[in-house]
Chain A
Amino acid sequence: MARRALSLGASVPLCVVIAVAAAVAGAVFTAAAIPVAGQSSATAPYRAPRAADGHPDLNGIWQALGEAHFDLEAHVARPALALRAGPFGPVPAAPVLALGAVASVPPGMGVVDGGGAIPYKPDALATRNENREHWIERDPEIKCYLPGVPRATYMPYPFQILQSNSALFIAYEYAGATRNILMKDPGPPPVSSWMGQSVGRWDGDTLVVDVTGMNDSTWFDRSGNFHSDAVHVVERYTRTAPDLISYQATIEDSNVFTKPWTIKMPLYRRLDANVQLLDFKCVEFVEELLYGKWRKTPLK
């Protein structure tokens, strides 16, 4: 939790505090600030250990920590993802009512760079709002569909990066989704897909992944934020501390947005001694939802 506070909300004020402290107490404090903030222009940036390909080693099991999977934009807590009008304001809708507080939405400061809203075109914004209203019928996560990019990154499940001398691959626990990051560009993808085509390259010590060829069926979060099949995502993975990747993704889709926009968040190494990817084949878990009514004897 301490690490999270340092990296997310408090990094700027912390720098200020450290800078003031350094001015008072001398250079010792400046050195101490490096691994925490890494923003001092007078000091060298964190240098990550190298993998077999000579680039920063991204191998390991990582996970985002935050509320991005609920809603990329800044938001206050909500009673539920599925709401209905109540006599004094919205209340949880019938399908999620029994879950009580478990079905509620925690608040978040948002991960959209600059803190603003996603720059939707007016009719696209209307679609987003309608998506949110019809979340329970429309969110592809509910049906255990492949998550697309960048949603796969910040779902509340771990993922594993496998980086060798010649390959870069990401395996996600959620739905067993996978991505092979092609380090040689094969040209435009011949077909669209749920996870798209990922082409990677190194920009200094940052892995840059260009994602194209995604279909229009994936979303960005549980709040109806969406894209078209023209979406183009550029991800940047930079190791900024021993157990931290600074992640950002720039999303461009002229069918839906007025301009490109960027999300930023840290990805944390899962430090649990016994951590590993386990099975989360949710396909099995949604069979009753999708096919239950076609049982010979539907459950009562």
Chain B
Amino acid sequence: MRARMLIAAVVLVGTATASLIGQAPKPAGKPSIPRLTDGHPDLQGTYDLATLTPIERPANLPAVLTDDQAKKLEGNVATVLKITSAPTKADRSAPPVGGDGSTGAAGNVGGYNTFWLDPGSSYTIVNGQKRSSLIVDPPDGKVPPYTAAARARLAAARTQRTSDEAQRENDPGLGDPNSYSDPEVRTLSDRCLLGFGSTSGPPALPDYFYNNLHQIVQTKDSVMILTEMVHDARIVRMNATHLPASIRKWMGDSVGRWEGDTLVVDTTNFTDKTRFRGATENLHVVERFTRVDANNVLYRFTIEDPATWDRPWTGEYVWPITKEPMYEYACHENNYALEGILRGARFREAQDAAKKK
């Protein structure tokens, strides 16, 4: 019931956005957005980043969806969710040896059904356009190809498994044997170090899974961005200089400034373990937050790491405000999965060894 209400709310917000952004561009300083006493736009609130718009554009879709295309795709998702969120039979038997073939969050063993998930229900609407990808530059909506150096680096890393996010995307849960050897080779999300995908960011991306809420608190000299997933608070220091290169942070070091009505956040000093889509610790992210109306913030991000991509790339999507409360996501404290993953692998190895005897 609540999930349905949430979806309805997102669709309504989406509709409102379309009508508002569809109007002629507004002159700067239009009083329809909330402002703080210092005159800057008030970006505060809780936002729901869930969207059906993927990071990269699917091959068969145009950059901008027609209303009919979007409606059809959103309807397809709703139909699938309706079926897959039905109550699981309490007396079902254990999944067969080797898994039951279920994909995604069900993890081949009938794990979460989609009742528990919140992958989004509508396409993001930017400037009145229903977008088929977050990426707007390059114009093909794709992450630029890796540089030769990055390909070599990532190939080498693949032989010695790491927490690399790009590898995670390719891991269907049945990776090579070494991917179960040590806690350090599991994903950052398995380890409860950062949220799934790049939900904490920067760039803060939808995770197409659950826990999509983000909260912004804006004081005189700081802007705090809280990520629901793994309760990561990123504190942006306004008009400050970056930390010395010796200080690295999981979410990088963020400093902010105002360019007119847009908050520009510049982030460097990432750790060498963050590895957003295979990037190095020299990743440089520039985010632009613009409150387009009382209920929506336009979020635009530009990614730069010459050691990984031969050109910068940019994406954008709208963050709709929500009244949904945010609850604690105590990931590590209840992380039975990481022990289960490693222990399961040791159990299987013991079984295999016993068979050989």
Residues on A facing B (Cβ under 8 Å) = 51-52, 59, 144-146, 160, 162-167, 169, 171, 176-178, 180, 186, 191, 193-195, 217, 276-279, 281, 283-284, 287-288, 290-291, 294-297
Contacts and interface: CB of A to CB of B under 8 A. Distances in A.
Contacts of A194: 328, 330, 333
Given A52-B37, A281-B250, A290-B339, A193 B327 contact: yes
Interface of B: 36-37, 42, 44, 180-184, 191-193, 215, 217-222, 224, 226, 230-233, 235, 237, 243, 247, 249-250, 271, 325-328, 330, 332-333, 338-339, 342-343, 345-346, 349
Contact of B191 (A176, A217, A276, A284): A284
Contact of A162 (B217, B271, B339): B217
A229 to B, nearest CB: 14
B181 A296 contact: yes
B328 A291 contact: no
15 contacts: A52-B37, A145-B332, A162-B217, A167-B215, A167-B217, A171-B224, A178-B231, A217-B333, A278-B249, A279-B249, A287-B184, A287-B191, A295-B181, A296-B180, A297-B181
Contacts of B191: 283-284, 287
Nearest to B218: A164
A284 B194 CA distance: 11
Given A281-B250, A296-B182, A164 B219 contact: yes
Contacts of B215: 167, 169, 180
A160 B235 contact: yes
Contacts of B219: 51-52, 59, 162-164
Contact of B333 (A145, A165, A287, A297): A145
Given A180-B326, A291-B183, A295-B342, 14 more contacts: A160-B235, A162-B217, A162-B219, A164-B217, A169-B233, A176-B230, A186-B325, A195-B328, A287-B183, A294-B342, A295-B181, A295-B183, A296-B181, A296-B349
Given A164-B44, A166-B44, A283 B193 contact: yes
Nearest to B37: A52
B236 to A, nearest CB: 11
A223 B13 CA distance: 51
Given A193-B328, A296-B345, A284 B44 contact: no
Contacts of B222: 59, 160, 162
B284 to A, nearest CB: 19
Contacts of B220: 52, 59
Contacts of A165: 36-37, 42
A119 to B, nearest CB: 29
Nearest to B341: A294
A296 B347 CA distance: 10
Contacts of A52: 36-37, 219-220
Contacts of A166: 42, 44
A169 B215 CA distance: 10
A169 B249 contact: no
B342 A169 contact: no
Given A162-B224, A178-B231, A193-B327, A169 B339 contact: no
Given A279-B250, A294-B339, A169 B224 contact: yes
Contacts of B36: 52, 164-165
B190 to A, nearest CB: 11
Please give me the 5 A-B residue pairs with the lowest Cβ-Cβ distance, nearest first. A294-B342, A193-B328, A296-B181, A171-B233, A287-B183
A156 B343 CA distance: 34
